[in-house]
Amino acid sequence: MDMNITDTSMMPSTDIESTSIDGVSEGGTTISTSKTSLNEEITHSGITEAPNEENIPQRVILRLKRKAPTSSEEGSKIDDDDWLEDITFESKEILSINKKLLDRLEEENSTIPMGSAWIQIDATDEASPLMYILSNEAANCLNLKVPKHHFQRYEKVVLYLPGICSDYVPTAIDAFNASDFEGVEIEGPIGVNISALEAAGVNLTELAEKLRNDTEVDEILTRTNGTTRTLGGSYILPVLHKNQYDPFSAPIVFQGSAVAVRFGIYIESMSNFQTSTMDYDMDISLLMAWRDARLVNPYDKPILVKEEEILEKIWRPDPFFANAKEAEFHEVTFLNFLMRIFNDGLVLYETRVKLKPACNLILCKYPHDKQTCELAIKSFAYPMETVRFEWFTRKHDAIDKNPDVKLPELYIDRYEPSICNRTRKSGEFSCLRAVFRLKRDVGFHIAQTYIPTSLALMFSWVGVWLPEEFMEGRIGVAITVLLTLSTESAGAREHLPSAIDLWFGYITGFVFFTLLQTLFVIGFDKRANQLKKWATKKRLDVTQEARDSMLNKASRYHKTGRYLDNFCRVFYPLSFLLFLIMYYFVFTEGRQDDCISTR
């Protein structure tokens, strides 16, 4: 019997009720309840112990859903309502000493060792309740082979209850009663036929225990990889007929249970991110795994179903891609799907789908942006009480991609499986979300945008190094660079929003400033030349003092032009370097959320 030994802290005790356990055996326990107030005495064949609240071990929450039948009730049909114990989830109960221990203590004429022979149940997680064995005597009565020194070393010994408290089989769900439709001709089976399952050799008790914590579904991919040979799809047909299989009913055998469907996606390709329509193309293989007890078969090899006619005879989940604008199956050279059915009822279904999911691309930091795209998988018709979607536990089974997937600009940095259960007006449905974290390959833009525009800008600086007599050449260089940048910017803006306009705006403004500087220098030089000509031509008309004044002005204009050239030879590179540093820290390393409008 599986056990878990752990150290835990005791919880505070409150008003509680006493519960007794009868008929404990190594194979299982039968639980019955008897409500007893704490201020009453626990009496058994002359053995009396007045409980003291300070000595009572602390207890945890317990919720019993059924009571075991008494000897007089065995074999008789009891209404389900009589099996329910009306105990609120906030109440606390104590499980008293097992009757075997009481009998033994009576024979030995001893008293009940309070605080040492009690057991304790933790049902905080209703799907996985735990029993705490607090003494070696209680362990012996339960036929648990626990070394005595464990109770001295550890505070509590924990027993996993779903493995032992399964003496009853839950009632089948949605059983169809044909007697309600006398005279009506019914074609085909309806619902889940429990009698047919039992006739097929399905052990309902073992099935109920397995469905409580079905880990085999999660291991189905490993199991599939280890399978080399399969049987044809026609092998499942006699099984469907024998078990009276209804493909329109979910494989829910017991009340209160839901079909757990494991999901996984394998990305074959991912491309064509459109900024105008905010979507992208995706080609995936969708994998689903679940357990259908009605498909239990006697074969030693899995059955491979790849025929549409047979597939229509078997129940499948109803997932749809909630954020996909378009979706279609691959049908070349035939409908791309396969289904593997194992002899214990495990089913693996795989199909290939082409999608166009929506993705809100945020381009305020383009081309240094990081994008987050999602793929939402939801159940369309089955509520969570009927079908529950889950990812495969292992991350590479949940989401994986073809290593040959190469994107021209964006690439997948990482992907994350998550759950997004949502409530619609028609109910609450399962939802899974695959989150893709994308980064852009900046190398493409360095080669296509940054380097060409930077070289064009540097080419415009040549004018400040040209001799003063090449004024027309300086203007030609600046205008040529402006036209080049205008063409480059228009080409980038044709395919993308204006998120990269800051770079082109700075480069264009820089070149325009270079053109203005050239015009100023040309103006200064032209004014200096005019003054020199006037001083030469009007030598006889003006005094020597006036000629010297004009020559001095001409010299100052000429020096101003040279000073501007010398200043810009240093200013242009330094200012461009400063801009590169600011651009790197603001756009490359800055937070993308800072540029998103919150209005």
Q: What are the residue ranges spanned by the domains of the chain?
A: 3-163, 194-439, 444-595
What DSSP string describes 141-152? HTT----THHHH
Residue type, 422: R
Assess contact for 303 and 232: CB atoms under 8 A.
yes
Helices (H), 467-592: 471-495, 501-537, 544-583
Sheet holding 30-33, edge to edge: 3-6, 156-160, 130-133, 119-122, 92-95, 16-22, 30-33
CATH number of 444-595: 1.20.58.390
pLDDT of residue 515: 84
- Quick count: other Cβ atoms within 10 Å of Cβ 44? 17
Assess contact for 105 and 111: CB atoms under 8 A.
yes
pLDDT of residue 538: 66
Per-residue pLDDT of the chain (599 residues; tens, 9 = 90+): 444 433 333 333 333 233 333 333 333 333 333 333 323 332 333 333 333 433 333 333 233 333 344 444 444 443 433 322 332 333 333 333 344 444 554 555 544 444 444 677 777 766 667 777 777 777 777 777 777 777 777 766 777 666 554 444 455 556 677 777 777 777 677 878 888 888 888 888 888 888 877 889 999 998 888 777 899 999 999 999 998 899 999 998 887 788 999 999 999 999 888 888 899 999 999 999 999 999 999 999 999 999 999 999 999 999 999 999 999 999 888 899 999 999 999 999 999 999 999 998 887 788 888 889 999 999 999 999 899 999 999 999 999 998 887 777 788 888 999 998 778 888 889 999 999 999 888 887 888 888 888 888 888 888 788 776 677 777 777 788 878 777 776 655 545 555 577 888 888 888 888 888 888 888 888 888 877 777 777 666 677 777 777 778 888 887 888 888 888 889 999 999 999 888 888 777 766 665 655 44
Q: Which of 462, 445, 454, 466 is nearest to 365 (CA)?
A: 445
Assess contact for 412 and 456: CB atoms under 8 A.
no
CA atoms within a 13 Å half-sphere pointing along the CA-CB vector of 297: 25
pLDDT of residue 107: 57
Pull the structure tokens for residue 36.
Answer: 């007893």
What is the dihedral sign for C-alpha 485, 490, 493, 499?
positive
Q: Is 24 helix (H, G, I), strand (E, B) or coil?
A: coil
CATH number of 194-439: 2.70.170.10
Assess contact for 175 and 246: CB atoms under 8 A.
no
| Ramachandran class of 174: left when φ > 0, alpha when ψ lies in -120 to 50, beta otherwise | left
Angle between helices 544-583 and 501-537 (to 10 degrees): 170
Q: What residues form DSSP beta bridges with 5? A: 157
Q: How many Å apart are CA 461 and CA 457, to the nearest integer?
A: 7
Pull the structure tokens for residue 199.
Answer: 């006739």
pTM flag (> 0.75): no
Q: Which of 318, 353, 348 is nearest to 336 (CA)?
A: 353
What is the dihedral sign for C-alpha 275, 277, 281, 282?
positive
Assess contact for 249 and 174: CB atoms under 8 A.
yes
